[in-house]
Structure 1
Amino acid sequence: MKDVFEYTGYRQYIADYYAERKVKSAFTWREFARVAGFSSSVHLKYVSEGRFNLGEDAAERVAKAMGLSGNRLEYFRAMVEFDHAKTDAEKKAAYGKMISIAKAHKAKVLEGDSFRFFSDWKNPVIRELAPAMPGAKPLALAHACREKITAAEVSETLNFLVKAGLLQKDDVGNYTQTEKSVTTGPMEVTPVAVRGMLRQMGEFALDAIEGVPQAERHFSGVTLGVTHEAYDEIVQVIAECRKKVIAIATRDSAADEVYRLNMQFFPMTNIKGLKK
């Protein structure tokens, strides 16, 4: 079975623990629940399926029943905290705790680099900007950004991007991208970071309405009444459009500027809620 540090979801860890024990012995959910101090024989089965949650004391008992202690016990607690968090800020704090615990044990958390990349606008911008300015020092890269960023922050960002394998640095100090584009995958944690970045980029877009000459930006919008079927079809069209834009942007190795494309399609009414 994988180490607990390789998980980001505590429910999956419980399910995998049970499955492994089941293969090796006559282990049952009833026995698992009994060892963890639950009267219901199916309680932990329902937890693993997402039907029940674990309280703080229960999480402690379950972790110890699975033989977790020390940093691994702390990490399991943090996973439970992450899963139960109500807001993105709470989720980021809990995930940060998971990363900190894992690093203290010299372990790498699954999705950690992806989470960090999508947590801050500096990462995708510097990833595009550094190759477009060969030989440029961190201070010059900082001055090239419209949003405020220091040379020290640029250096830190470059070091992270190289370490994460998103940029390569040659012997003379020039940077190249290892891949032309970076997108999110079907991960548990990354969407939390992506939502934070979308807020950042949305704020930058508002500033650009007045701060960027009209000839250098494009803003447009339309308000529509749609059916649920039309919504699904429009979302697919937007996805295809995004792919075409990426294909156009990545067909050339050079870049004159770094742009951000926001695609937003969201409800302005709540008719369905009124019907309920």
Structure 2
Amino acid sequence: MMKSVIEYEDYRLFMNDYYRWKKQTSAFSWRDFTKKGGFTSPNHMKLVCEGKSGLSKTGVERAADAMDLVGAEREYFRQLVKFGQAKKDADKKAAYTEMKEIACARKVRVLEGESMSFYESWKFPVLRELAPMMPGAKPLDIARACGNAFSAEEVRNALAFLTRAKFLKKTADNVYEQVDRSLQMSVAAMPVLVREMHKEMASFAKDAVEKYPVDERNFTGVTMGIDDEDYAEILKELENCRKRIISIASAKKGGNRVYRLNMQLFPLTDKVQKQESSLK
């Protein structure tokens, strides 16, 4: 899996790693890399990675497009290039400060132990997102915003757990902010809890088809015949897409609604054993 650009402090190294990763997973060449960014010189990206050329302001945006960088990751890449190409110490320091602020805002927390209770009910991840959007709101107001799916007392208890487990920080009376922008689960505990959460969220998705108008929800799908190799390649694309979406959602604080995105790819049939054709 390709590391996030936010883990790098050398933009040339990141670009070279991206190229090598793409080449390992697909038929990808320096010409393809350059063309995707819209550069006219067929080997421009190769020259940049080798340190024989740099990126202009426009070039930074084209390179970001070529690597599908969006949101916080795109802004980090801009600062990363500034840091790498700055001539003055003051400019280099300013870019590095921006990089660290973005990295700090995007920190990820791995959930283990008691914190795994976070995934026992949909109310915990929802309230972790919703409570900071409603500063000063009382538990009853928050419960109403959730369609009264649970009581004010349940909201009060959930907020107490989220604060105690350091998912939220209480900064004033009925005012909360998130402690970490992103969360991921311990691999050991993942299977059971993820299955239960997926089943719960799938049920909500079914109800959302009728509950919300088409301009407030998006449902699309495709039925296709693929093999194991196709499946592996599609999973990589879905993972890249998921990372870009997380980058967009976590690039800024705040919002006005909590959404759930389900990314689903599952079989509708058993595997078919291919029969070799025989000549008659």
Question: Is the alpha carbon distance of 1:183 and 1:111 closer, same or farther for their aligned partners in structure 2, counting shifts above 3 Å?
Answer: closer
For 1:273 and 1:260, how far apart are their aligned partners in 2?
37
Offset of 1:112 from its aligned partner? 3.1
Could you tell me which amino acid in structure 1 is paired with residue 246 of structure 2? I
| Cα pair 2:130 2:257 within 8 Å, conserved | yes
Offset of 1:274 from its aligned partner? 10
C-alpha offsets along residues 153-178 of structure 1, whole Å, 9 cap, x if unaligned?
11111111111111000133310001
For 1:215 and 1:149, how far apart are their aligned partners in 2?
26
Question: Is the alpha carbon distance of 1:115 and 1:274 closer, same or farther for their aligned partners in structure 2, counting shifts above 3 Å?
Answer: farther
C-alpha offsets along residues 225-275 of structure 1, whole Å, 9 cap, x if unaligned?
111111001001101111111111111211110000000000111125899
For 2:202 and 2:133, how far apart are their aligned partners in 1?
24
Determine whether 1:249 maps to 2:227. no
Pairing 1:107-146 to 2, within 5 Å after superposition: 111-146=112-147
C-alpha offsets along residues 36-71 of structure 1, whole Å, 9 cap, x if unaligned?
xxxxxxxxxxxxxxxxxxxxxxxxxxxxxxxxxxxx
C-alpha offsets along residues 109-166 of structure 1, whole Å, 9 cap, x if unaligned?
x933342111110000000000000111100000001361110111111111111111
- Residue 157 of structure 1 aligns to a residue in which SS? helix
- Residue 186 of structure 2 aligns to a residue in which SS? coil
Identical pairs, percent: 45
Could you tell me which amino acid in structure 2 is paired with residue 213 of structure 1? P
Could you tell me which amino acid in structure 2 is paired with residue 265 of structure 1? L
Name the residue aligned to 1:156: 157
Question: Is the alpha carbon distance of 1:146 and 1:220 closer, same or farther for their aligned partners in structure 2, counting shifts above 3 Å?
Answer: farther
Name the residue aligned to 2:213: 213
TM-score by length of 2: 0.56
- Residue 168 of structure 1 aligns to a residue in which SS? strand
For 1:269 and 1:234, how far apart are their aligned partners in 2?
18
Could you tell me which amino acid in structure 2 is paired with residue 129 of structure 1? L
Name the residue aligned to 1:20: none
For 1:189 and 1:169, how far apart are their aligned partners in 2?
28
Offset of 1:215 from its aligned partner? 0.8
Question: Is the alpha carbon distance of 1:154 and 1:239 closer, same or farther for their aligned partners in structure 2, counting shifts above 3 Å?
Answer: same
| Cα pair 1:114 1:190 within 8 Å, conserved | no
Pairing 1:1-276 to 2, within 5 Å after superposition: 111-146=112-147, 148-186=149-187, 188-271=188-271
For 2:273 and 2:115, how far apart are their aligned partners in 1?
35
| Cα pair 1:129 1:257 within 8 Å, conserved | yes
Instruction: Give the alignment's Cα RMSD to 1 decimal.
Output: 1.9
For 2:136 and 2:228, how far apart are their aligned partners in 1?
51
C-alpha offsets along residues 175-203 of structure 1, whole Å, 9 cap, x if unaligned?
000111222232x2232112111101000
| Cα pair 1:138 1:155 within 8 Å, conserved | yes
Question: Is the alpha carbon distance of 1:134 and 1:273 closer, same or farther for their aligned partners in structure 2, counting shifts above 3 Å?
Answer: farther
For 2:176 and 2:261, how far apart are their aligned partners in 1?
23
| Cα pair 1:118 1:190 within 8 Å, conserved | no
Gap regions ≥5 residues in structure 2: 1-110, 276-280
Pairs aligned (count): 165
Could you tell me which amino acid in structure 1 is paired with residue 112 of structure 2? E
Gap regions ≥5 residues in structure 1: 1-109
| Cα pair 2:112 2:185 within 8 Å, conserved | no
For 2:170 and 2:151, how far apart are their aligned partners in 1?
20
For 2:123 and 2:228, how far apart are their aligned partners in 1?
36
For 1:190 and 1:245, how far apart are their aligned partners in 2?
21
TM-score by length of 1: 0.57
For 1:233 and 1:211, how far apart are their aligned partners in 2?
34
Could you tell me which amino acid in structure 2 is paired with residue 215 of structure 1? D
- Residue 113 of structure 1 aligns to a residue in which SS? helix
